[in-house]
Structure formats: structure tokens, C-alpha cells
Amino acid sequence: MVGMNLAFAFNSMFKCERIVRVAPLGVKLSNKELRKRYPKAGGKLSVVLTKDAPPWGNEGDVLRVSRGFTLNYLMPNQLAQPASEEIIAEAEAKRAALQAEEEAKREEAAAIGSKLLSIGKFKLQRKSGDDGKLFGSVTPADIIGVVNAAASCNLDAPKIILPPAKDIDHLGDYPFSIQLYKDISVDLVLTLTAA
């Protein structure tokens, strides 16, 4: 009610014929031009997501959402753009390229995983006391160095899951796993020996 009164006061004060609002793209459009650009089709618009939006979909997905949600949320946050044949074709080509790239990464991770599994045990030398207690700690960087040297591969910084640091305090065998890709991980064994 207050908004209507303010709009009426604004219109009567400045002798405006219509209220102009700012469109999501930063271009001033009147209500008539907005309706023309985004016609009501049962209150729904087809849009293509330009970024991953977890509750609604991934980049390149074509959604049919309400007009208000599109104009008030998706477009101002640059999460979507109106669907046209060219944009849909471009999104599908981009999605196909991303899928091919992801498949290549997955195959490379699987090959490295099978290579690491064939080795199975990795040896790391550390200084220790007479009772086998380690001097210092074992870090993921140490493990990556040993794995890269033994397997002749170049792992940058995959996710390494170690037992708690307090458990790695003596010489012996310790299980660990390396996550090479989203759903590809390998379980390996680290053998700590005296230097």
C-alpha cells in the first residue's frame, strides 16, 4: 500500500506517464518494454543457467522457472540468461566439451590409481629412537614425494587421508588413501623404516 502511494506521489509530482525500472542488464526499461522482452508464457520463462546453482541445476541446464524468480533473482545475480536457440546450442556444446574433459581426467586418474595399487606399499625413511619412536612428523608432502618417486608420476596435491597424527609416531605400517578424482580413491600402505 505504501509503495503504491509513493509511486502515485512520484508520478503526480513529476508528471511521469509511467514508472521506469532498471532491468537486470543495467538498461532502463519501462514496464511495457519488460513485458515485451519477457512475455508471460503461463508465468514461466525458459532460461539457461550460466553458473552452477546447486539447488536448481548445473551450468548449461535449461530450466523453466517463474518470470519473477528469473527477473528478480537469477538474472541480477548473473546465474541465468533467457533461453534462445543459439544460447541453448552454445550451452550444449560447452557441456559436451566439459564432459569430454572430465572423462579424460577420470581416465587419467584411473590409470594412475591402478599404477599405485600395483605398487601397494611405499617406504619412507625417518630418524627414530632406539624404541622406534619417530623424531619429527610425517606430512602429506612427504608421502606425495615418496609416491611420485616410486610410481614415476607427478601428483600435485591430491587429498591424502591419513590416520590421526598422534597415531603415526612409531616405525611400522600405516594405511592411507589418496583421492585422485571426485569418486576415485586408492587405499595404500606407508611403511616407515629407520634411516
Q: How far apart are CA 189 and CA 143, in angstroms?
A: 10
pLDDT bracket for residue 84 (50, 70, 90): confident
Instruction: Name the band, by pLDDT with cuts 50, 70 and 90, for residue 169.
Output: confident
Size of the chain in residues = 195
pTM of the model: 0.60
CA distances from 117 to 95, 146, 188 (A): 32, 14, 7
Query: Confidence class of residue 161 from pLDDT cuts 50, 70 and 90?
Result: confident
Query: Is the pLDDT confidence value at 9 over 60?
Result: no
Average pLDDT, rounded, for the chain: 80
